[in-house]
Chains A and B, each alone.
Chain A
Amino acid sequence: MTRKKLIILYLIAFICQLTVINLIGINNVGPNLILCLTVVIIFVFDEGWRCIPYSLGAALLIDVCAGTVIGAAPLALFCTGIFAEAARERLNTELLAPLAVTGAIATLFNNVVYWLILKILGDPMSILYILKFQIFYIIYNILVMFVIFHFMNKIRAAREKEEDEYGI
């Protein structure tokens, strides 16, 4: 993934996250596009972790527009990114099942870290409330990850074919 492509992807994800996604949100629950994009890119591409700085930028912008405290979402996402990279090294990245498992754990991990940061800063929300809705966030995020994975896999396949043809 080139730098230009990453910037465009995260810019689109950022804009959609705050506007279009609200259309499919049910009872204040919706997918986290930045998280989904980051996990899938890390999962699919060899040096996918290079997307992390861009994802942090996008998460920071989300916080500026609709966050309780600026910086909490990028910090949670950074931890999740490290987890996704660790998972990638141990799993088969061409199958959907490992992605689903990684996506589910990443969603839970991201939301719990986010909650923890806000809790330290005195937010009243309880962990039980966060956990109560996790299943919906997980389902939503996994569905979005599958869609992104489908497109990213095509890019990966095209790139591998290109490399084979030129004998790289």
Chain B
Amino acid sequence: MKWFGEHKLFSAIAGIVLVLIIIITGSFLTAGGSGIVGRGFQTAASAVAKPLEAVTSGIGDTLSGIITFRDTQKENDKLKQENTELRQENLELKLKRSQLRQLKKLSKAFNFKPYSENSSAVAGNIIELDYSTPYVVFTIDKGKSAGIKKNDIVVDGDGLVGKVIETGSGWSKVKSVLSESNNISFKILRDTNVTGVLKGNGRNALTGYLMESSDRIIEGDTLVTTGIGTYPEGIRIGKVSDVSYDDDQQLKTVTVRPTVNFSGLTRVAVFI
């Protein structure tokens, strides 16, 4: 004790470092969890951040609306065209409805319950996002009261965003798929027999490999989740941007660009 008294500065520095290492270890062991105090604080912070987010996103939307007026006009024309095509597609799908009824009867007979039938989606606005680091972790304004639980899946209109790592009253913390260190099982939309696994590589992309090296995969192929593991089936992950063969591991490896634009992300949906 006397030694610590004589070396106050060193003791203070060592003490702070030790406390922070304990916090980091605790948080790491609970997968990003922040404990009771942290959750209480997060609830208070979300209450402050919500109105601020509304103001800032309002300003942001107005500014981007002015700047991107021409782009919006082009996008509008494109959407009109897409709408026409979708109407046509809708007509065709109606014809297939009878086939779907038959399949549903069959799924009932086998007691098969797909994810989408049991779940509904909750839309949330991103209220807290730290741009000072390249790690995509953010907080949304919906929490336990909306039915969100830990490990719920987060998507946006373009595809898979990530999963909920912590939730509280009026907020949920989301870890993006880019920071995902666990394997994500995928299949190719073009040929659902071709499967493999991916994980975030921290370079705005995901990397992985095919289960069968003889399977055919090309640049531009769209990948979706298989339903094996955390993520439910049929969610768009991204498009293949590079295919190569790893001689050492004798695996066909792929690099995938996510379909979700993480830079412009403001609203997401959570499957509950």
Contacts and interface: CB of A to CB of B under 8 A. Distances in A.
B53 A29 contact: no
Contacts of B128: 18-19, 65-66
B45 to A, nearest CB: 5
B138 A117 contact: no
Please classify the interface of chain A as helix (H, G, I), strand (E, B), loop, or mixed, using the class held by over half of its residues: helix
Given A28-B131, A56-B16, 19 more contacts: A15-B52, A23-B60, A28-B134, A29-B131, A29-B134, A30-B130, A60-B23, A63-B34, A64-B34, A64-B42, A66-B137, A68-B32, A68-B135, A78-B16, A78-B20, A123-B135, A125-B203, A129-B202, A129-B203
Contacts of B201: 124-126
Contacts of B59: 23
Interface stretch (A40-48, A69-77, A86-94, A152-160): A69-77
B265 to A, nearest CB: 9
Interface string B130-153: 111111111100000000000000
A95 interface: no
Contacts of A133: 134
B245 interface: no
A137 B17 contact: no
Contact of A82 (B13, B23, B199): B13
Interface of B: 13, 16-17, 20-21, 23-24, 26-28, 32-34, 38, 41-42, 45-46, 48-49, 52-53, 56, 59-60, 127-139, 173, 175, 179, 181, 199-204, 262-263
Given A35-B132, A123-B179, A126-B201, A28 B263 contact: yes
A74 B24 CA distance: 10
A122 interface: yes
Contacts of A130: 134
Residue of A68, A125, A129 with most partner-chain B CB within 10 A: A68
Interface of A: 15, 17-23, 25, 27-33, 35, 56, 60-75, 78, 82, 111, 114, 117-118, 121-126, 128-130, 133, 137
A78 B19 CA distance: 12
Contacts of B21: 71, 75
Contacts of A66: 128-130, 137-139, 173
A66 to B, nearest CB: 4
Contact of B41 (A61, A68, A125): A61
A137 B132 contact: yes
Nearest to B49: A19
A61 B45 contact: yes
A83 to B, nearest CB: 13
5 A-B pairs closest in CB distance: A125-B202, A30-B131, A32-B132, A71-B23, A70-B27
A8 to B, nearest CB: 14
16 contacts: A18-B45, A18-B49, A20-B56, A23-B56, A23-B59, A28-B263, A29-B131, A29-B134, A65-B45, A65-B46, A66-B139, A68-B32, A70-B32, A71-B20, A78-B17, A123-B202
